[in-house]
Structure 1
Amino acid sequence: MALVSPSSSATSGSLLSHSISTQDFTGPQIGSFRPLDRPLVPSTATTSSRRRCAVKPVLAEPKRNESMVPLAAASTVISSASEVAEKVEIDEDYEKLAKELENASPLEIMDRALGKFGNDIAIAFSGAEDVALIEYARLTGRPFRVFSLDTGRLNAETYRYFDAVEKHYGIRIEYMFPDAVEVQALVRSKGLFSFYEDGHQECCRVRKVRPLRRALKGLRAWITGQRKDQSPGTRAEVPVVQVDPVFEGLDGGVGSLVKWNPVANMDGGAIWNLLRTMDVPVNELHSKGYVSIGCEPCTRPVLPWQHEREGRWWWEDAKAKECGLHKGNVKEENSAHVNGANRNGASTQNSNGSTPSHADIFDARNIVSITRAGVENLIKLKNRSEPWIVVLYAPWCPFCQAMESSFVELAEKLEGSGVKVGKFRADGDQKTFAQQELQLGSFPTILFFPKNSSKPIKYPSEKRDADSLIAFINALR
């Protein structure tokens, strides 16, 4: 893996295969901004250590006539004293450091990360708006490295974007690929789209988590684009720096890898202000309604009122909208609450079925509240006197709350039409039943029960306005 200088657009042969000193590097001049004159690796005077490791410089990219070597395999092993290139000494109270940097700017946090770890840290770039990380790294004036996970299932637009970013910054992104044997075994045994049936975790584990694990084994720290506002249920307490709770670094073992999240406290609007101001290239998928961008089969555009993560793994429950790369930041309490349960899995409903902190929704005179027995009767009827459209919901779900007005409007428009409008609360004790019998994947799920069909038909679109729902009903009546 090559050390990338933001001021250099190209190098001969492989990217720099030797360590760059501060004398070799001249950072960019941006207005009156000057690169900070600091060494790449902290001296022993600035960081004390309980743990010492002597390593050679990391070689990121093999010669072109050799086979591509995974990032971790390309990192050099600890060698004899005669082969030592530098010493990295690490000992830090990262909880204390996170509090110290809580109100720091992303640029300051990025500068601290790059200055502390030098060639042993890299930016994780997904092809979405976390290009802001690369821009901040450039602005520090320090050398930096960038890696990305190529799952083999990305959009064509994302691949073109990778190329544009490389040319814009004059860098070579270090790509990590899934193990071909593992991918082959998964596809041969379960098909190309098994994740639609049994969840995305297995596919993500093969195509993303394991390649990332290999990449991080060649590093002592990594930089991510996690933000607290990306997924309030799972990322609300992301610190700006932490000891990685899941993955291991170069030295191996718990605590051997540090994770930096410089934009944790920024919101999406601030990120986009930076990208526009600095004229940074962006993925063309953003102009097509995509906000959070992942693999092509698992990513959809979102509507203006939808949360950005709703376009990821849209067929699954809200708590599952993580691929495993940031598993350590998922809050178990919050994840349980998203499912209407406490930490022990017990329902948080009152005896009357309501949630203490959330009032019921979809309350209107022409919307029928259906019980479990009522839903079971609807399923059993092969010839119904009237068709029904029913929303499976949870009152705490922000997406259900967001569509409440349109569903009430739908009920008003359908009054007297012969179509009944109903709601069924499908969280808590009813969730397993709804998943097994009513096709519940995530909240809200909308079902249409035709007059002459024994099976309900699931509404397939993310458009939940009244007119779209009426068009769906009219096509099936």
Structure 2
Amino acid sequence: MASATASISATSIVPRDLKAVQIAAVRHLEPSISTSTASNAPSRRRWAAARPLRAVEPGRRGEAVAAPAAAAAAGAVVEGEKRREEVDEVVDYEKLAAELENASPLEIIDKALERFGNDIAIAFSGAEDVALIEYAHLTGRPFRVFSLDTGRLNPETYRFFDEVEKHYGIRIEYMFPDAVEVQALVRSKGLFSFYEDGHQECCRVRKVRPLRRALSGLKAWITGQRKDQSPGTRAHIPVVQVDPSFEGMDGGIGSLVKWNPVANVEGKDIWNFLRTMEVPVNSLHSQGYVSIGCEPCTRPVLPGQHEREGRWWWEDAKAKECGLHKGNIAQEADMLGTNANGATAISSVNGTPDIFETEAIINLSRPGIENLLRLESRADPWIVVLYAPWCQFCQGMEASYMELAEKLSGSGVKVGKFQADGEQKPFAQEELQLGSFPTILFFPTHSSRPIKYPSERRDVDSLLAFVNALR
């Protein structure tokens, strides 16, 4: 499969007057998106007569053959380069989110595609995310689509993917999990370990890491998150934000922008829109499935049940996230504010779930870290993260740090963590060089002074390079 940076799919270059008609028609549907206004939207059959630029020969889907399309595309490339130069400017995304709070999904997606061009892609999960593709199609701009194939999806979902590709004349770029990692997980724990020890490990291998690879080739992505999907974790998502969990192609915190154009749209209105526009939908929806994920972890919901109750139904209903949107999880610490260097307030928040939980990472107590600090000659070198469970940047590096621990297992380098918020923070600031969360320290075998990791890059390769340079 092509890399995440490769062009995935592009809509036809719609003539400017037709684009205006399409946008005006859909805006007439919003925000209520009522099916009663279906007659106001031009039918896809009428569009076909006005869109000769996507004519495709059988067996060569995705190749535009009309000369005008090439000229239009060339102009779009020039405009896109200008827009990408503008993207490099510093943008206040909190302010932009406030400005777009009452905008329609069509307007938000149009703004996102205009700003980021080929450096943004739609994350398509095989459920009602097809609405995002429809909105992108209506803008008349080229767009890209990717999806995560975990290897455990329903047959109906795979058929749905094919329908969507044919309907829009696009190619979806599929991201797959690493075969070696899947093999190791299944051989050590079996095919259904997630029923016994939680779904996070399986999702990390099959979804989170493939997503990280996809996003590393982008500057922004578009998701189908809605506030009403999961009140416990998605109630406060903005329509656009700096991604708190993942990094983009430029690397480092703040290098990826996340667009959530349907954040303020209710599920019923999404479905009215899909019916009005007569787009393909997953056949599982007609069997009682609402939120659709992997086959072993998804089941239909009964009347009156919330849609997320069909996902990981054996777990706590208040925190049903697989890790793709972990930065959403609302913590009381978010209300405490941050200081200039990004560290949050001193007091720890009771009840916040711990992070970096794996057998490969040693949880150091205060006496433990003090002992490690006093040793002038250690049997093994250590790498230790000073963290706060509620810190979004700590949460954002959780997967990479856990992967680092797995890679260093058996290498002679010990991997540890020390919770340095609350009453431990003054000690960590004075003795452990804590400036902001997370702070990463390397304790060599023959030095009493730990070495602080200086970079904002917290991907596993950068961390491993740091360790290998000092071990």
Q: Structure 2-normalised TM-score?
A: 0.58
Whole-Å separation in 1 of the counterparts to 2:327 and 2:91: 20
Pairing 1:256–2:255 present:
yes
1:136-215 matched pairs, under 5 angstroms: 136-215=135-214
Which residue does the alignment assign to 1:297?
296
Q: SS of the counterpart of 1:139?
A: helix
After superposition, the Cα gap between the structure-2 partners of 1:94 and 1:39, relative to the gap in structure 1 and judged at 3 Å, is farther
Task: Indicate how the Cα distance of structure 1 residues 343 and 174 shifts in structure 2: closer, same or farther if over 3 A, else same.
Answer: same
Of 27, 41, 57, the residue aligned with 2:80 is 41
Contact 2:56 2:63 (8 Å CA) reproduced: no
In 2: Cα distance, 1:203 partner to 1:187 partner = 9
2:268 — aligned with what? 269
C-alpha deviation, 1:329, in angstroms: 1.1
Classify the secondary structure of the residue corresponding to 2:170. Answer: coil
Take 1:235 and 1:174, find their aligned partners in 2: how far apart are those partners? 26
Change (3 A) 1:2 1:42: closer
Q: List aligned pairs for 1:296-315, cutoff 5 A.
A: 296-315=295-314
Give RMSD over aligned pairs.
Answer: 2.8
Question: Which whole-Å CA distance do the structure 2 matches of 1:334 and 1:289 have between them?
Answer: 37
SS of structure 2 residue aligned to 1:222 = strand
Contact 2:100 2:239 in 1 (8 A): yes
Matched, 1:4 2:20: no
The within-5 A match list for 1:311-322 is: 311-322=310-321
2:71 counterpart SS class: coil
Whole-angstrom CA distance in 1 between matches of 2:122 and 2:195: 30
- The reply to whether residue 281 of structure 1 matches residue 299 of structure 2 is no
State the match for 1:24 in structure 2. Answer: 71
Structure number with bigger Rg: 1
Q: Deviations along 1:408-443, whole A, 9 cap, x unmatched?
A: xxxxxxxxxxxxxxxxxxxxxxxxxxxxxxxxxxxx
Q: Which moved more, 1:311-320 or 1:288-297?
A: 311-320
- 8 A Cα contact 1:10 1:171, kept in partner: no
- Residue 437 (structure 2) aligns with: none
Tell me what 1:124 maps to.
123
One-letter amino acid of the structure 2 residue matched with residue 5 of structure 1: A
SS in 2 for 1:122: strand
User: What TM-score do you get using the length of structure 1 for normalisation?
Assistant: 0.57
Q: 1:279 to 1:192 in 2, by over 3 A?
A: same
**Cα contact 1:166–1:172 (8 A) shared by 2:** yes
Match of 1:345 in 2: 351
Deviations 1:194-215, CA, capped at 9 Å, x for gaps: 0000000000000000000000
* Aligned-residue offset at 1:39: 6.4
The structural deviation recorded for 1:330 is 1.2
Change (3 A) 1:283 1:322: same
Instruction: Give unmatched runs, 5+ long, in structure 1.
Output: 27-35, 49-87, 336-341, 347-477
Match of 2:218 in 1: 219
Deviation at 1:95, TM superposition (A): 0.5
Mapped to 2, the partners of 1:135 and 1:201 lie a distance apart of 31
Deviation at 1:90, TM superposition (A): 3.9
User: Which one has a larger percent helix, Structure 1 or Structure 2?
Assistant: 2
Structure 2 CA distance for partners of 1:330 and 1:10, relative to 1, 3 Å: farther
Q: Distance in 1 between matches of 2:265 and 2:157?
A: 23
Query: Does the C-alpha gap of structure 1 residues 38 and 275 become closer, same or farther in structure 2, counting only changes over 3 Å?
Result: farther
Unmatched runs of 5 consecutive residues or more in structure 2? 1-5, 13-53, 335-347, 353-471
Q: Secondary structure, in 3 states, of the residue corresponding to 1:148?
A: strand
Instruction: Check whether the contact 1:216–1:222 (CA below 8 A) recurs between aligned residues.
Output: yes
Q: Percent identity at matched positions? A: 75
C-alpha deviation, 1:318, in angstroms:
1.6
What residue is the counterpart of 2:416 in the other structure? none
Determine if contact 1:243/1:257 at 8 Å carries over to the other structure.
yes
- Aligned-partner Cα distance in 2 for 1:9–1:234: 43
CA contact (8 A) 2:62 2:169 kept: no
Aligned-partner Cα distance in 2 for 1:140–1:272: 20
Residue 22 (structure 2) aligns with: none
Q: State the Cα distance separating 1:175 from its structure 2 match.
A: 0.3
